[in-house]
Amino acid sequence: MVPAVIPSLTKAGIEVLVEPGAGYDAGYPDEAYVEKGAKLAADRDAVFAADVVFQVRAAGAAGSAGEADLPRVKKDGVVIAMADPLGCPEAVQKFAATGAALLALELVPRITRAQSMDVLSSMATIAGYRAVLLAATALPKMFPMMMTAAGTITPARVFVVGAGVAGLQAIASSKRLGAIVSAYDVRPVVKEQVESLGGKFLEIQLDTAGAEDKGGYAKQLDDEAIKKQQELMLHAVAESDVVITTAAVPGKKAPILLTAEMVRQMKPGSVVVDLAAERGGNCELTKPGETVVDGGVTILGPANLPAEIPYHASQMYAKNIATFLLNMVKNGQLNLNLEDEIVRDTLVTRDGKIANPRVAEILGIAIEAPATNG
C-alpha cells in the first residue's frame, strides 16, 4: 500500500492500519501514510488483527516468512496477497488450517474488468524494464549506434524470448536505448505487438495450436516441440549480444529454452538475463539469484526484479490491490460474492478448507461447491 491510494479506501468506509516502517525502504515514510488518513498499528500482530490484511507475499510465495505469520492470521480474517498457490500448494494447505480466507492475486483472471487488478502484469512490466538496464550494465558494449570522430559504433543486438508483458517491455526498453531488437514467442498472434514496438519477430514454424490457455497465459509445449524450438533459435541466439528470456508457465517449472550449447555459441562478453530464474530458469546454466559466467558469457538470474524498483513497484501493486478490494466492498462491508468471477477464481482457502478447484486438483483432494455469498 502507498499513501496516495489510501483516500480511495477511506472514502469507501474502510479504516486503514499500516505496519510501522512498512513503506520506508520503498520511499514511503510513516508520516506520509498518516497524512493521507491511515493509522499506524502498534506492531505486526496488530495488523493481522484487522479484518483484511494486504501483503506483497504470503503462504508459499513468502517462504519461511509466510509460515512465521500463520499464528498471527485471524480465523475469520481475509488475507489478500501473492501466494503462489499453484507452485506451492502445500503451503496453501497449511494456511487453510488457520480458517482464514486467502485470495491469491496470481489467479486474477485476465478479463477486461480485472485489468486494473492484474499484479502479474504490473510486476512483469517492471521486470522487463529492469532486465534491460541490467543487461546494458553488464554488456561491455553500448546499446545505440553512434557516429563519432573515432568511428561508427554499431548497435547492440538484443533477442527477447517470450513476448508477454515482460517481454514486450524489454523490447520497448531495448529499442529506446538504441539496440536492434528481435523477439520470439510460441504464440504467433503477438507478432504484430512485437513489430509495433520496433522489434523483428522471429518466425519459427511449430504447431502452436493451443499455445495459449483461456486466461491468456502461454501453455507449456511438449518436449519434442521445445527441442525443435531450441534448434531453430540457435542462430538468433548466436548472433545476439543480449538474450532476455521471459517464458513462464503459472505453477510450473520454467521451460528450458536456452541450452548450455546455445549459450556457448554466443560471443564472449555477451549477456543472458533470465527473468524466469525464480521458477528454475529458461537457461540451462541459470542459477537463481546468482551471476554465472560460462565461456565469457554472463548469465544473470535475478530472483525478484520488481523489488529493485520498489517505489514504482509499490505504486502499481497498491493500485492493483486497492481496486481488487473495492470490487468486494459495498457500504463499508466486505462481501466475498462467488458469483463474481474475479472473487471466485482468486479465492484459495476458506473456512479451513481449500476452495480453489485448480489447487485442489494439484493436491489431489475433492472440494465442496461453496455458497455464492458470504
Residues 57 and 109 in one domain: yes
The last residue of one of the domains, among 307, 326, 341, is: 307
Residues 203 and 298 in one domain: yes
- 230 in active site: no
Residue 231 resides in a domain: yes
Contact partners, residue 259, CB within 8 Å, separation at least 6: 230, 284
The last residue of one of the domains, among 284, 307, 330, is: 307
- Distance (Å, rounded) from C-alpha 266 to C-alpha 333? 58
Mean pLDDT, residues 18-35: 97
361 touches 323 (CB < 8 A): no
- Distance (Å, rounded) from C-alpha 158 to C-alpha 163? 13
Whether 131 shows a pLDDT value over 70: the answer reads: yes
Residues 168 and 50 in one domain: no
Better-scored residue on pLDDT, 203 or 258: 258
- H-helix segments, 23-118: 30-35, 44-48, 59-62, 64-69, 89-96
Residue 337 resides in a domain: yes
Q: For residue 327, give the C-alpha cell.
A: 470490487
For 42, counting Cβ atoms within 10 Å of its Cβ (0-12 exposed, 13-18 middle, 19+ buried), the class is exposed
Residue 254 resides in a domain: yes
Task: Give the CATH number, domain containing residue 47.
Answer: 3.40.50.720
Q: For residue 34, give the C-alpha cell.
A: 498518516
Whether 222 shows a pLDDT value over 80: the answer reads: no
Quote the pLDDT of residue 203: 81
Summarised one tens digit per residue, pLDDT across range 247-258 is 988 778 899 999
From 217, 264, 311, 333, the catalytic residue = 217
Q: Which of 76-90, 122-136, 216-230 bottoms out in mean pLDDT, i.e. has the lowest? A: 216-230
Highest-scoring range by mean pLDDT, 171-175, 183-187, 364-368: 171-175
**φ/ψ (deg, to 5) at 344:** -60, -45
Residues 269 and 319 in one domain: no
For 179, half-sphere exposure in the C-beta direction (CA atoms, 13 angstrom radius) is 30
From 25, 43, 45, 115, the catalytic residue = 115
Residues 164 and 73 in one domain: no
Residues 214 and 165 in one domain: yes
- Report the percent of the chain where pLDDT is more than 90: 83
From 8, 57, 72, 110, the catalytic residue = 110
Whether 183 shows a pLDDT value over 80: the answer reads: yes
- 217 in active site: yes
Residue 370 resides in a domain: no
Residues 179 and 296 in one domain: yes
Residue 225: pLDDT band with limits 50, 70, 90? confident
Summarised one tens digit per residue, pLDDT across range 282-338 is 999 999 999 999 999 999 999 899 999 999 999 999 999 999 999 999 888 999 999
Dmax (CA) for the chain in angstroms is: 74
Contact partners, residue 148, CB within 8 Å, separation at least 6: none
Domain count, the chain: 2
Residues 222 and 198 in one domain: yes
Residues 214 and 277 in one domain: yes
Q: For residue 343, give the C-alpha cell.
A: 472473487
Quote the pLDDT of residue 277: 95
DSSP letter at 274? Answer: E
Mean pLDDT, residues 133-150: 96
Residues 288 and 325 in one domain: no
- 311 in active site: no
In the numeric block, the cell 498457490 is attached to 85
Q: For residue 303, give the C-alpha cell.
A: 530472483
Mean pLDDT, residues 74-87: 95
Residues 195 and 61 in one domain: no
- 33 in active site: no
- 115 in active site: yes
Mean pLDDT, residues 133-137: 98
Summarised one tens digit per residue, pLDDT across range 341-351 is 999 999 999 99
Whether 260 shows a pLDDT value over 90: the answer reads: yes
Residues 137 and 187 in one domain: yes
From 93, 121, 122, 240, the catalytic residue = 121
- Structural domain boundaries enclosing 12: 3-117+309-363
From 33, 84, 93, 118, the catalytic residue = 118
Mean pLDDT, residues 149-165: 96
Quote the pLDDT of residue 165: 95
Mean pLDDT, residues 104-115: 95
Quote the pLDDT of residue 86: 93
The last residue of one of the domains, among 291, 307, 323, is: 307
Residue 368 resides in a domain: no
Q: Which of 104-113, 292-301, 359-368 bottoms out in mean pLDDT, i.e. has the lowest? A: 359-368
Residue 18 resides in a domain: yes
Residue 30 resides in a domain: yes
Residue 24 resides in a domain: yes
Quote the pLDDT of residue 112: 94
In the numeric block, the cell 565469457 is attached to 296
